[in-house]
Structure 1
């Protein structure tokens, strides 16, 4: 995500809008996930690939916004900008997660009833830094590095990618960066095709196996996005927002490929999506022409709420998951009104926090950090 105050360059509103489309699909994924029996039958089966799409968008926008500014910007300045952009919502997201944790009552998380308040507050304070907590402090019992707000794991790896970019990879030539991206693509495909479930899902646990998943899912898309920002020559494409939104939805809503017997087929599908289709979507989005004020306003709205939505929706989803766990046998027909309520509530909460918290705090930080 870029900081608009940095640049007088042409902006890419369609890419902002696509980020919002993907964020809404993430919410629908998390709302259908507890209704499935496993990784084969979740209604929004590939919704988790939105994270890989976010990484690619982030790499593209970081390269576009910062690549030509290093002659007048220090590494410290770069990280001030990133902290200013990312941390306010991280802090709010962890706070909401702690509030939700304190008031949630569910058999699915038996640890909740035994966690002392001081330990929950300590996990929250560590969460504010986006540093992962060890398994010994997993107070929810899902083996998450951020048990108060599950999505924090991807922000941790976002920072890892930003650090790698700032301290060295930004200096790579196009050829060197291309070699890195090729190696990362091979590693990603190998992970997806050979993993026990035939997918890239994972990265949220602080151990060697899940750490490998997280860094592999980060390296290709983020630095492929960076490479794309350097080599792409956008054209002028009409209706790009519509077609790109449809492509994102088709990829993320695609049912499981191959079933339980041939999980490697799903791995191939996900590899193709991340390595080929996502860069194509970003290129088309960057080439798109905004054709009306309505399209511009919609893209701006979706882009503005995308990051707040990502950070505030999961604390609400926890209540929804608890309700499902406390009412065994709930079907999608019974759950959809509650799911719709959570979706609409999450979007409303995202907009409220954007206007009343995120934007004012970022403005204040910009002044304080210079």
Structure 2
């Protein structure tokens, strides 16, 4: 089955951009508009997920049993790494408690309170922590999208079983419902996460399903000047993301990313050829780990910096504001020093992600895929023994 290698590469690039978006470090690139608005690339993940899963399962999920097998596989894709990272965050919170108890210094909020309250451990384990049960991000902040992704997969599976012949119509209705909900309860914005994030995810996911339907009908047609079209598309997406904070609405974001997925799924131009090279292949392979690992690395950086501030009586975390958002900016000398720090941060995130992919993602996925295969085998009629 076609892996869409170019789209995998773009998934890796977007994961890196999200990791940079969450790094508050006084480097030269911090205020670069595509970086400051890179949270929008989560919508790319949703669109791409809908596209890829429609490609892989549109013809395979026809019965409730098929739907259950599909969801077992999806749990195997999303849950093991999420639980592994959650356990690391719980361990880090214990370290924070020990630091406050024995060194008498603080490393942020009091341990096991607010975003790290014990109740949130249970909701994270069940992957329901982004269904409006909390008033903030919990534990591994970016995992809110993993929670919504799983439940969007449930809706997708149910739609395939119950309304297969009307999948496109159902996709349009789900998108309309999602947009209506966001318009009504989230001020007409796609900036929903732990509260109305499920509707943001459903919008993007089923936009991806529709994008795949268009791809199926039109993918054999040639694109004149495909390299120029790919380059122009990248420039257009960069401009769009850069100007998101200036726009009246960001509701067109899944449509914009849907077009980019449609274009790069064809793999025709020079940009696509570049994205098929090994570095981008590996980034795509490690993208899920990059997305879930980077917040843990940032938590360690932030906690260590706060402890060092108090022990050494130096200022490492400077209060800063950008576009009405207040946060602490890590500063270690001049901007050139922070550029090196940013490179080291990305290198560390990618290195750890390569390990979690090999030793957490792959074994977890293999285990749950094995469960799904055994389920299929039990449903198949037994042949008579001769």
Report the Cα distance in structure 2 between the residues aligned to 1:186 and 1:126, rounded to whole angstroms: 26
Give the structure 1 partner of residue 200 of structure 2.
Answer: 217
Task: State the secondary structure of the residue aligned to 1:229.
Answer: helix
Q: Which deviates further from its counterpart, 357-366 or 125-134?
A: 125-134
Give the structure 2 partner of residue 111 of structure 1.
Answer: 110
Give the structure 1 partner of residue 361 of structure 2.
Answer: 358
Give the structure 2 partner of residue 272 of structure 1.
Answer: 252
Task: State the secondary structure of the residue aligned to 2:8.
Answer: helix
TM-score (norm 2): 0.72
TM-score (norm 1): 0.75
Q: Which deviates further from its counterpart, 168-177 or 86-95?
A: 168-177
CA-atom RMSD in angstroms: 3.6
Task: State the secondary structure of the residue aligned to 1:48.
Answer: helix
Which of 268, 272, 283 is matched with 1:302 structurally? Answer: 283
Give the structure 1 partner of residue 66 of structure 2.
Answer: 74
Give the structure 1 partner of residue 190 of structure 2.
Answer: 200
**What does residue range 147-158 of structure 1 map to in structure 2 within 5 Å?**
147-158=138-149
- Aligned 8 A contact 1:101 1:148 in 2: no
**Structure 2: gaps spanning 5 or more residues:** 100-104, 310-315, 319-329, 375-386
Larger Cα-atom Rg? 2
Deviations 1:309-348 (A, max 9, x none): 1111111111233456652435582644333322211111
**Structure 1: gaps spanning 5 or more residues:** 1-8, 205-209, 259-265
Report the Cα distance in structure 1 between the residues aligned to 2:189 and 2:338, rounded to whole angstroms: 27
- Aligned 8 A contact 2:152 2:202 in 1: yes
Task: State the secondary structure of the residue aligned to 1:156.
Answer: helix
- Aligned 8 A contact 2:10 2:275 in 1: no
Cα pair distance change 1:199/1:321, threshold 3 Å:
farther
Cα pair distance change 1:165/1:201, threshold 3 Å:
same
Report the Cα distance in structure 2 between the residues aligned to 1:299 and 1:243, rounded to whole angstroms: 20
**CA-CA distance at 1:31 after TM superposition:** 0.4
> Is it true that 1:179 corresponds to 2:176 in the alignment?
no
Cα pair distance change 1:309/1:282, threshold 3 Å:
same
Q: Which deviates further from its counterpart, 329-338 or 83-92?
A: 329-338
**CA-CA distance at 1:249 after TM superposition:** 4.9
Cα pair distance change 1:242/1:292, threshold 3 Å:
same
Give the structure 1 partner of residue 155 of structure 2.
Answer: 164
Give the structure 2 partner of residue 312 of structure 1.
Answer: 293
**CA-CA distance at 1:17 after TM superposition:** 0.8
Report the Cα distance in structure 2 between the residues aligned to 1:95 and 1:245, rounded to whole angstroms: 38
Deviations 1:205-255 (A, max 9, x none): xxxxx23xx133112111111112123222456558776666555544x15
Give the structure 2 partner of residue 289 of structure 1.
Answer: 268
